[in-house]
Structure 1
């Protein structure tokens, strides 16, 4: 069930009404949300609902066993058991074929040909996300950051809450479980804010991401015969496609959760206005970046131990981040490139230089900020080529074609209308860059005519560009 589908437009109002009709009974509210979440997930493939429930049951039991352990050795046993089984399932479904094919290719290069057995299974939707939900929970219980949850319904809802189930944000038990366990009251202001964020998310997905995808798919599929200038256009459009697609999903998820009285973690913070790569990664997929920081980078030693330790740990988290995104060498190269791009700021300790909002005290950025944002965006777009390409060979061929004499020719694709739409979109993002989402406060201080005119422009664009439902990119991860 897609957020941008008719089925969700029917599903959510029903859940919303049932949920708030029982607002005096927390147990019923949580039960309704859990049933709705199970149904939502089963719409993808009901068979994988059993895998989700097994993962939930494993971590629920492990959390209690860890807390009740008589000594650290026993607690560590349950922690390791949970981590190994969870990562084992993730590795089996997501990475088995990758490792087998890579090993076979290695042996073939050594002159040995072997017959391999590949799996013909569908990757369970959202497995990377709900696995990380469970892992953070058992680790937090082990570290005594949170008490083990005894209520199975509440814990199950924490892992399977439908707005974030299939593509995040990756929530923490320390943040979401306390909200699940307290009575929620309907707030008109929060509901309006949630609807505004859903509207902006749908605009990002349908008007920006899906329209960019039409050109991106064609350009990347036929890159061998296109001008270098056209390939540059394709790479830039993909940057806006993946941003509109993923941040659009996050906006819809956060807005939907707010309509139900929940506050989810912010996942994007205007990343394309970053002045260096370090700032970009503080603003892009924030819940994943912070997860790797807290559960991998810091346990590895973080920034302690000098530059060598910082460099080593940075490379590890970026390579793991790349591998988390998919079982393909393209994602690993993408992660490696971002690690290389961020290295100067790690070595010279400038990675914390740009913590404030760009042009915080002015309407427009200065010349230096424009150059810094442009350079950071160019590096990001270059890395996105590997993320989007089907193979490393295709990505290298794409890049070689860019740096040919055809780069000076006029692009073969007429995308001026789409450029105008993207400029409109980024203008709204720029003027709303200090808020939680771009249209959180826009026109709220104006009269109703201006406010609703703006809403109708967005709604009209969404309806006009709506067509066949397009799956969100991050569902494959």
Structure 2
């Protein structure tokens, strides 16, 4: 089941929310757990077993880590064992084929293997459960003794499929006691509509534009840049739209999840971009990989090593393909370049020019991200810089510019904070107008969903 489906919006969600609000508070966790299993099983019934195993295993290991608090050696052994089991499951389902193909490529033979479908949300709930264990080990939180309470955290349907990676420390109190009321429901519903509109009205149409451009065997320089601009906007509205919907659903259920995006495309440096993009993943790698490696409180060479390790792993987390590793290393190198060379220059030039520089780096980075085939990747990058291009601009480019101009213009405007700030002022001054705007966006989104084919969330496959 997915958020951008008619069944979820008009069947599952209203029935679930009605029961959730009517049952006594002490039964809400049970209902949320059962509802989350139904939500997940709707599309992948077999993999519910995998999710339940993850919940049971990490619940037990959490209690063991706390029990062994005064025995550092045994506690460390149990933590390592927990990490191995969690990562073994992740590697088997996500990287099994990738590893065999890589080994086969090195030794020069083809190793046949069955294709395994990736359980939706596996990377997200694995990292979520690992953060829980790490925080117990670091004494940041006590182990949850109630299995049902922990299972709600581990399986909750708003963030199951594509994050954000909510940490147990952030919602520990809310798992036991939370407030639900009309005000929070209204805020949550507004966030859900905002995310739905981002996904259905912007991301899905940008996907059509990008796919059409990529379908051409030969492109002009302008066409290739137009295509990657469409993908750049599509990815943002697709993933930030999902995050808005997840946070909105959380509000409706009485939870307060941290934001996952903070207008990343207004950043004035690559470093700032990664403080604003997929915040929950970036902070996860910072707290559990980068800092334990020594962070920046080590020698220069080790600092460089730490950044490259973290970004190679960040890239690999996104997908079982070498282009993702290359994408991660690409960002690691730019972060190092900014830290040791460009930082002093970026402070002296106008902020708009810094944003242009950042967006150029980001757009080129999304080429690495979008092309899993190295031949296609090299061809697209070459075309962007005139190598193998049909010219600087052609009729095809003018056609896509003409048909996609309004969509791209709206997308560029809507990835900036100004429209949302205006809407917040409108809510305070003219609440009725704000309600009407939300209803129009909701109606347009539903109409588009009815008359167009379903498009999955991009980050659900990671």
> How far is 1:77 from its partner?
1.7
1:128 to 123, 130, 133: 123
> How far is 1:188 from its partner?
2.4
In the alignment, the residues of structure 1 paired with residue 430 and residue 258 of structure 2 have an alpha-carbon distance, to the nearest angstrom, of 31
Aligned to 2:383: 401
In the alignment, the residues of structure 1 paired with residue 421 and residue 163 of structure 2 have an alpha-carbon distance, to the nearest angstrom, of 20
Aligned to 2:320: 327
In the alignment, the residues of structure 2 paired with residue 407 and residue 160 of structure 1 have an alpha-carbon distance, to the nearest angstrom, of 51
Q: Secondary structure at the match of 2:161?
A: coil
In the alignment, the residues of structure 2 paired with residue 187 and residue 438 of structure 1 have an alpha-carbon distance, to the nearest angstrom, of 25
Contact 1:230–1:413 under 8 Å retained in 2: no
The C-alpha deviation readout for 1:5-41, integer Å capped at 9, x for no partner, is: 012111111111111112x432x00000000001111
Contact 2:206–2:407 under 8 Å retained in 1: no
Aligned to 1:170: 165
- Matched ranges for 1:438-453 at <5 A: 441-448=424-431, 450-453=433-436
Contact 1:226–1:412 under 8 Å retained in 2: no
Contact 1:227–1:412 under 8 Å retained in 2: no
In the alignment, the residues of structure 1 paired with residue 349 and residue 343 of structure 2 have an alpha-carbon distance, to the nearest angstrom, of 20
In the alignment, the residues of structure 2 paired with residue 333 and residue 128 of structure 1 have an alpha-carbon distance, to the nearest angstrom, of 19
Would the alpha carbon gap of residues 283 and 341 (structure 1) be closer, same or farther in structure 2, given more than 3 Å must change? same
The C-alpha deviation readout for 1:346-389, integer Å capped at 9, x for no partner, is: 225949x99xxxxxxxxxxx992211111101110001011111
> How far is 1:431 from its partner?
4.1
TM-score (norm: length of structure 2):
0.93
Report which of the two has the higher share of helix: 2
Aligned to 1:191: 185
> How far is 1:408 from its partner?
1.9
1:307 to 300, 304, 308: 300
Contact 2:101–2:110 under 8 Å retained in 1: no
Would the alpha carbon gap of residues 77 and 349 (structure 1) be closer, same or farther in structure 2, given more than 3 Å must change? farther
Aligned to 1:217: 211
Q: Secondary structure at the match of 2:261?
A: coil
Where structure 1 has 5 or more consecutive residues not aligned to the other structure, the ranges are 109-113, 355-365
Would the alpha carbon gap of residues 78 and 387 (structure 1) be closer, same or farther in structure 2, given more than 3 Å must change? same
Where structure 2 has 5 or more consecutive residues not aligned to the other structure, the ranges are none
In the alignment, the residues of structure 2 paired with residue 319 and residue 33 of structure 1 have an alpha-carbon distance, to the nearest angstrom, of 36
Alpha-carbon RMSD: 2.2
- Matched ranges for 1:195-210 at <5 A: 195-210=189-204
In the alignment, the residues of structure 1 paired with residue 202 and residue 300 of structure 2 have an alpha-carbon distance, to the nearest angstrom, of 41
In the alignment, the residues of structure 2 paired with residue 230 and residue 368 of structure 1 have an alpha-carbon distance, to the nearest angstrom, of 28
> How far is 1:211 from its partner?
0.4
> How far is 1:259 from its partner?
0.7
The C-alpha deviation readout for 1:199-240, integer Å capped at 9, x for no partner, is: 110111011110011121232243x32222111111110001
- Matched ranges for 1:310-459 at <5 A: 310-347=303-340, 350=343, 368-404=350-386, 406-410=390-394, 411=397, 413-432=399-418, 441-448=424-431, 450-459=433-442
Would the alpha carbon gap of residues 440 and 71 (structure 1) be closer, same or farther in structure 2, given more than 3 Å must change? farther
In the alignment, the residues of structure 2 paired with residue 426 and residue 439 of structure 1 have an alpha-carbon distance, to the nearest angstrom, of 16
> How far is 1:328 from its partner?
0.6
Would the alpha carbon gap of residues 449 and 136 (structure 1) be closer, same or farther in structure 2, given more than 3 Å must change? closer
Aligned to 2:283: 290
Q: Secondary structure at the match of 1:153?
A: helix
Contact 2:265–2:415 under 8 Å retained in 1: no
Q: Does 1:468 align with 2:453?
A: yes
Equivalent residues, number: 453
Q: Secondary structure at the match of 1:98?
A: helix
Q: Secondary structure at the match of 1:302?
A: coil
TM-score (norm: length of structure 1):
0.90
The C-alpha deviation readout for 1:115-172, integer Å capped at 9, x for no partner, is: 5131322111100000001111111111111111110000011011100011000011
Q: Secondary structure at the match of 2:283?
A: helix
The C-alpha deviation readout for 1:260-283, integer Å capped at 9, x for no partner, is: 110112100000010000000000
Q: Secondary structure at the match of 1:424?
A: helix
> How far is 1:198 from its partner?
1.0
In the alignment, the residues of structure 2 paired with residue 78 and residue 126 of structure 1 have an alpha-carbon distance, to the nearest angstrom, of 25
Aligned to 1:88: 88
Q: Runs of at least 4 residues of structure 1 off by over 6 A? A: 437-440
Would the alpha carbon gap of residues 221 and 100 (structure 1) be closer, same or farther in structure 2, given more than 3 Å must change? farther
Aligned to 2:28: 29
Contact 2:97–2:115 under 8 Å retained in 1: no
Would the alpha carbon gap of residues 407 and 190 (structure 1) be closer, same or farther in structure 2, given more than 3 Å must change? farther
In the alignment, the residues of structure 1 paired with residue 421 and residue 8 of structure 2 have an alpha-carbon distance, to the nearest angstrom, of 24
In the alignment, the residues of structure 1 paired with residue 391 and residue 444 of structure 2 have an alpha-carbon distance, to the nearest angstrom, of 33
Contact 1:41–1:162 under 8 Å retained in 2: yes
Contact 1:66–1:75 under 8 Å retained in 2: yes
Would the alpha carbon gap of residues 11 and 145 (structure 1) be closer, same or farther in structure 2, given more than 3 Å must change? same
Contact 2:6–2:446 under 8 Å retained in 1: no
Contact 2:263–2:417 under 8 Å retained in 1: no
The C-alpha deviation readout for 1:261-307, integer Å capped at 9, x for no partner, is: 10112100000010000000000000000000000000000011133
